[in-house]
Amino acid sequence: MANIKDLKVRIKSTKSTLKITSAMKLVSAAKLSKAQARIMGFKPYSIELDKTVRIASALADGYSHEYLEGSDSKKAILLIISSEKGLCGGYNSQLFKKVKAHLNENSDKDIKCYFIGKKVKELLLREDGIHEGVTFNFEKAEASFSEVKNIIEELAELFIKGEVGSISIAYNSFVSAIEFDPTVKQVLPMTVSEEEKEELAKKFPVDFIYEPSAESILNKLVPEVLNSTVFTCVLDAIAAEHAARMAAMDNATKNSKDMIKTLTLKMNKLRQAAITTELTEIVSGAESLNS
């Protein structure tokens, strides 16, 4: 059974932990605000650009692009975006489960895993049969558009050469400050199904006028769609990470406060019991002297 001295040490240690978790919560909240502003500012542009290019490429007569053409190759790339550090709740573990499910569902394919961040990589490499690719790093904690562009262009080159048949991204999509959604999204090939083409043809029965031409415009916009889509995924993952860490540190702070209360109450009970025992001994000694 813990004595008063041990409880004092534990209370002091827990108070130190409380200071750390409180500080980390504030830091994550500040970073989340910045990351949330970035994703909210860029995501609408990315979605509308993707939508516009899909419509134009589907309706342009005879148009084709190397990013739109799939292949029969069983080889594929999965780019996994996780965190470099822990202490962010279920952020990495939930993404790991999503990646494992995706790999099991596509066991007929030879999927090579590339990584941004090391935490899910560490979990995956404990498993058998994982085909490991390159781990990418950013110069700073916050990724720049040019860095993400260089990464996806490097992977897209393998797709263009026919070495892989598809490229997908696994990441945590930011929903809110208390919620994220583990997601696996295919980014290449950028296919438009025949059903979707028919629906678009009905929705837009007239031809668009292109200047200088549909081919020259789309040849510039299709790669831009790929770059902006992947950058959006990275921004989503960063915002979700800060949100998850803020929530985890908030829970840790509350738990520390509860533990301090519990330990303080226990220490006070032991102190009261010790005082009562001493008083009883003093009274008993005094009575024995008077008898």
- Is pLDDT at 43 greater than 80 in this prediction? yes
- Is pLDDT at 1 greater than 70 in this prediction? no
* Percentage with pLDDT > 70 across the chain: 98
Helix (H) or strand (E) holding 78: strand 75-81
Top-level class of domain 25-246: alpha beta
Cα 278 to Cα 204, 264, 285: the distances in Å are 92, 21, 10
Tell me the mean pLDDT in the region 169-197. 89
- Is pLDDT at 61 greater than 80 in this prediction? no
Which residues does 96 contact at the CB level (< 8 Å), separation at least 6? Answer: 82, 120, 123, 124
Tell me the mean pLDDT in the region 203-222. 81
- Is pLDDT at 127 greater than 60 in this prediction? yes
**Omega cis (within 30) before 212:** yes
Tell me the mean pLDDT in the region 47-54. 88
Question: What is the pLDDT at residue 226?
Answer: 95
Contact (Cβ atoms closer than 8 angstroms) between residue 170 and residue 102: yes
- Is pLDDT at 254 greater than 90 in this prediction? yes
Q: 89-93, 158-162, 286-290 — which is least confidently predicted? A: 286-290
- Is pLDDT at 239 greater than 90 in this prediction? yes
Quickly tell me which residue has 């102190």 as its tokens: 271
Question: What is the pLDDT at residue 291?
Answer: 63
Tell me the mean pLDDT in the region 151-157. 95
Question: DSSP assignment of 177-213, as one string?
Answer: TTEEEEEEEEEES----HHHHHHHHHH--SPPP-SS-
- For 72-118, how does the pLDDT look when each residue is reduced to its tens digit (9 = 90+)? 889 999 999 999 999 999 999 999 999 999 999 999 999 999 999 99
Beta strand 166-176 pairing with 179-188: antiparallel
Count CA atoms closer than 13 A to 152's CA, side-chain side.
28
Residue-range domain boundaries for the chain: 4-24+253-285, 25-246
Question: What is the pLDDT at residue 187?
Answer: 94
Query: How far apart, in whole angstroms, are the C-alpha atoms of residue 198 and residue 210?
Result: 21
| pLDDT band at residue 140 under the 50/70/90 scheme | confident
